[in-house]
Amino acid sequence: MNFIEMISQRNEEFVRSGHSADLKIIPSTKTIIIGCLDPRVDPMDILELKPGEAAIIRNIGGRVNPALLETLILFPIVTKAAGQEMGPGWNLVILHHTDCGIIGCYKHAPDLLATHLGVARSELESMSITDPRKAVAMDVAAYKSVKELPGGFMISGIVYDISTGKIEVIVPPSQLRSDQ
C-alpha cells in the first residue's frame, strides 16, 4: 500500500467516525498556535487538542518571519468574514521545542535561514537559534511590536521538551498590546 492509498483508507474511517460538519472556521478555543513543522511536535498530539479547537500555523522552528506575519495579519479578516472579530478572549501561543531542526539550518544553510526569517545574515547570531527558551521570548516580544496585529488578544510562549514530552511556560500570557 502506498502512502496515498494508506491515507485514503484512513480517511474512509474518518468519514465514518471522525468527521463533523458542525465544526466552525473560528477555532472553538479562540486560539492560534504557532509551532514547528517537526512531526514530533504536532500541537494536536502533544497538547491533546480536539478537532476545531485551535488554528495552527507551522514552519521551521515556529520562528516569526514575514510569511507568518502575513498569515497572521490576514487571519482576522477570515474570522471577521465568519462573523467574529479577533481580539479580547483570543490567544496566540508560540510553541518552540528542544532539539529543533532549525539549529541544523543555522549551521548548514545560514544564508537561506536568514532569508527565511527576513533578517540579515549578521543578525542570525543574535536570534538565539540554538536556545528555544530565549527564542520563544524573543518572538513574543517581536509579535508585540507588530502594529498590524489586533492588540486585544493574549500572547504566551511555551517550550516543549522532546525528551520528556512536557511543556514549560516561558512567557506567561499577557496582552499583545494595551491599546485595545
Q: Contact positions toward Zn ion, by CB under 5 A?
A: 36, 38, 100-101
**Contact between 135 and 96 (Cβ < 8 Å):** yes
3-state secondary structure of 5: helix
Residue number with CB closer to Zn ion (38 or 53)? 38
Residue with Cβ nearer Zn ion (30 or 63):
63
Shortest distance, CB of residue 132 to Zn ion, whole angstroms? 8
Q: Kindly state the smallest distance separating residue 172's Cβ from Zn ion, in Å.
A: 22
Q: How far apart are CA 112 and CA 42, in angstroms?
A: 24
Nearer to Zn ion among residue 20 and residue 164 (C-beta): 164
Nearer to Zn ion, 101 or 172 (CB): 101
Listing DSSP states for 62-94 in one string gives T---HHHHHHHHHHHHHHHHTT----TT-EEEE
Closest contact distance (angstroms) between CB of 154 and Zn ion is 24
Residue 56 · residue 33 · CB < 8 Å: yes
In Å, how far from its chain's centre is CA 166?
Answer: 17
Least distance in angstroms from the C-beta of 127 to Zn ion: 14
